[in-house]
Amino acid sequence: MNHIGLDFDDTVVDMRKSIVQLLNKIHNKDLHYEEMVEYGVSDLYGYSFEAFLDFFTKNQKELHSANPYPFMINVL
């Protein structure tokens, strides 16, 4: 099976928004991605680098199912 990696600087998929939505769900919070001024999203939820890496690893399937930006389908 071939895999395509996601571009994590939010050019293909709004990955940070997807991460915030999932973290909100897990931690029962209501942080709004559009209002955030902190780039380190993990800091807003009290994650160390290692804990955030573990979160990301355990939730890859859900995070990687995020839809690309609508215009990307035509570009690709």
As beta bridge partners, residue 13 has 68
Q: How far apart are CA 20 and CA 31, in angstroms?
A: 7
Q: What pLDDT sits at residue 17?
A: 87
Q: What was the pLDDT predicted at 5? A: 63
| Predicted confidence pLDDT, tens digits, the chain (76 residues) | 676 665 556 777 788 888 999 999 999 999 988 888 877 888 889 999 999 999 989 998 888 888 888 887 787 7
pTM: 0.75
Residue 13 contacts residue 75 (beta carbons within 8 Å): no
